[in-house]
A and B are shown apart, each in its own frame.
Chain A
Amino acid sequence: MFNRWVIVFLVLGTSATWFVQAEDGVTRDAAQIVGEVCVGCHGVDGNAMVLGAPKLGGQKADYLAKSLMDYKTGVRNNAVMSAFSSALSGEEMEALGKYFESQNSTLSVPK
């Protein structure tokens, strides 16, 4: 089994250029952001099985956007998510929420 922190370090290490690009004020496409950043832990469809990482595929878009903003503003504390969300605009967060909500889902509203 792969240590999730090894994955985290790999993702952070290879994302240095992404952080620089995020400062240019250009709103990026959600699929582009997912492919460059989120995919490392959550998978391209948000359903990756990485220890401790929540499934995002099919999750409520507004909940996901709020979570990203909470990480950026420090309401939620997670070193990795705080780092990634700090480079996102509110518009990009909403786009990411809609992207993951539209993916195939293994999540359900429990009965």
Chain B
Amino acid sequence: MAFSALFVASSTFAAGDPAAGAQLNAQCQGCHGIDGFKTAFPTVYSVPKIGGQSYDYLVVALKAYRDGDRTNETMHAIASNLSDQDIDDLAAYYSGDQKD
């Protein structure tokens, strides 16, 4: 019983449109589109590769940034302007794996 409830809760039903995501990616590419790009503040480290990343993980990550559960200021500022649909579309675009 508990497991089936968790299963339902962890499933992703939303559809993402990669073409729509492609219209939203300008603010992503300045950092994630440059190989070897590193953050400057507050600490220096490489921005992750997101091309081909898991659709579900991308959705979770963007929502966590937007909602403040992940605390990178740059990503929080960018994700704050994204709707759930925008996030699904971006995840579909970057994962290359449209879900239905």
Contact = CB atoms under 8 A, between A and B. Distances in A.
A67 to B, nearest CB: 8
A92 B9 CA distance: 33
Interface residues of B, number: 32
Contacts of A109: 32-35, 49, 51
Most buried by B among A76, A77, A107, A109: A109
A58 B50 CA distance: 11
Contact of A59 (B33, B49, B70): B49
Nearest to A67: B48
Most buried by A among B6, B33, B54: B54
Task: Report, as a range, how many residues of chain A touch the other chain.
Answer: 20 to 34
Interface stretch (A3-11, A19-27, A29-37, A81-89): A3-11
Contact of B10 (A3, A58, A60, A62): A3
A63 B29 CA distance: 17
B57 A63 contact: no
B52 A60 contact: no
A106 interface: yes
Closest 9 CB pairs of A and B: A108-B51, A60-B46, A110-B51, A54-B57, A107-B49, A109-B35, A3-B7, A62-B45, A52-B56
15 contacts: A5-B6, A6-B3, A51-B10, A52-B54, A52-B57, A53-B57, A58-B49, A60-B45, A63-B47, A66-B43, A106-B52, A107-B52, A110-B28, A110-B50, A111-B33
Given A60-B49, A107-B52, 9 more contacts: A3-B6, A3-B7, A5-B7, A52-B10, A52-B57, A59-B48, A63-B47, A66-B43, A109-B34
Interface of B: 3, 6-7, 10-12, 25, 28-29, 32-35, 43, 45-54, 56-57, 60-61, 69-71, 94
